[in-house]
Amino acid sequence: MDEEPKDVIVLGTIKSGVKSFNKICQVAKIEPSKLNSILEKLESRGLIDVKEKSGLFGKKVEIHATEKGGKELESRIHELEGKWNQMAQLYKAGDKQKLQKYMDENKISFKEMMFFGVLDMVMFSMMFSMLGMTMASIIPPQDMPQDADGGDMGGDEGGFDFDIGF
């Protein structure tokens, strides 16, 4: 599945049980106009089904992942795990040049990795530290993980501020 990260994130959101258009917009953090085109693309590929149901308050539309969509998503997550494992091995081996090259080649995968919980954020930040970089140099600010207060977890420096409650 060679779609943009947002396509895979939308499919993952639907597969996790989110069925309504508005809720998918919120969870996947995608504008309605963009979501509409993504849903059309996923439906044309047979990865989702759109069903209209009658409810107490009139008709409602529910979106479900198909079996094909579920398999496609599992395959994509497996691919992301492989990429993460490769980066972790390069980090552990201390090979800065190969790690830098691999991260540059796989920038588009970071948002998906964060969304699906594939990467270890502590190790990820240590990789950036080893390379003398900040997360902002590879990940756009709008794609940075958010803390509970809606702020970014790394501030301007790309690191983390851990509060252990003392």
Euclidean distance between the first and final Cα of the chain, in Å?
46
Half-sphere exposure of 40 (CA within 13 A, CB side): 6
Domain span at 37: 5-65
Residue 87 lies in a domain: yes
Q: What is the tally of structural domains in the chain?
A: 2
Residue 103: pLDDT over 50: yes
Same domain, 41 and 13: yes
Please report whether residue 156 resides in a domain. no
CATH of the domain at 47: 1.10.10.10
Give the pLDDT score at 138. Answer: 63
Same domain for 61 and 84? no
Residues 84 and 61 in one domain: no
Residue 150 within any structural domain of the chain: no
Report d(CA 32, CA 38) in Å as an integer: 10
Q: State residue 46's pLDDT score.
A: 95
Whether 20 and 45 map to the same domain: the answer is yes
Q: What is the pTM of this model?
A: 0.73
Q: Specify which of 42-46, 100-104, 128-132, 155-159 reaches the highest per-range mean pLDDT.
A: 42-46
Tell me whether residue 116 is in a domain.
yes
Same domain, 18 and 49: yes
Is residue 158 domain-resident? no
Per-residue pLDDT, averaged over 106-114, amounts to 83
Percent of the chain with pLDDT over 70: 78
Q: Residue 88: which pLDDT band, with cuts at 50, 70 and 90?
A: very high
Q: Going by C-beta distance under 8 Å and a sequence separation of 6 or more, which residues neighbour residue 45?
A: none
**Structural domain contains residue 163:** no
The confidence band for 98, taking pLDDT boundaries of 50, 70 and 90, is very high
